[in-house]
Amino acid sequence: MSTLALENLRYSLEWFKARYSIALEISELYALFPEEDETPPLAQSHWNVQWPNSESNGVYAVFSKFTNDKKDLQYIGKASSPGMRLGHRLGAHFGGKKEACTIKVPTRWVAQRLRYIVTIPVPADEPFIAAALENI
């Protein structure tokens, strides 16, 4: 997969919003491994705290450890079916044990050194927008 910087994702989201006249906002960075975050920390939230926009349908983007000041995108997924919210999808991928402050990283992603997540919630009555956003 080619890498994409977080800044490019933000730019693509702005284009989508203007093109389709829809109000969407990207969450702040969420650190999967806060103990490995940069100094000063880049993420405003972190593992063992509720996933950003966990009760909404939408899209989530997973980034690897930053290189050359770029936040390298490794995966974009969506949560758009009834009863499947962002918190459910992220928990399915990274569900660990909150009481033990541990998180699991799926085997297929270990080599990418995943570190950060952002989410883009979509309106509750328009979950189909997540499918379009997954491809921006």
Count structural domains, the chain: 1
Instruction: Answer whether residue 103 is part of any domain.
Output: yes
Instruction: Answer whether residue 97 is part of any domain.
Output: yes
Instruction: Answer whether residue 89 is part of any domain.
Output: yes
Domain that holds residue 117: 6-133
Instruction: Answer whether residue 1 is part of any domain.
Output: no
Instruction: Answer whether residue 77 is part of any domain.
Output: yes
Instruction: Answer whether residue 23 is part of any domain.
Output: yes
SS3 of residue 19 by DSSP: helix
**pLDDT tens-digit profile, the chain (136 residues):** 334 578 888 999 999 999 999 999 999 988 887 776 665 566 777 777 788 999 999 999 988 876 665 667 888 999 988 888 998 888 888 775 555 455 666 655 555 577 888 999 999 899 999 999 988 7
- Annotate 89-111 with b (16+ C-beta within 10 A) or e (fewer): bbeebbeeeeeeeebebeeeeee
pTM: 0.82
Instruction: Answer whether residue 11 is part of any domain.
Output: yes
Residue 69: the pLDDT is 57
Residue 120: the pLDDT is 96
Residue 13: the pLDDT is 94
Instruction: Answer whether residue 94 is part of any domain.
Output: yes
Residue 108: the pLDDT is 56
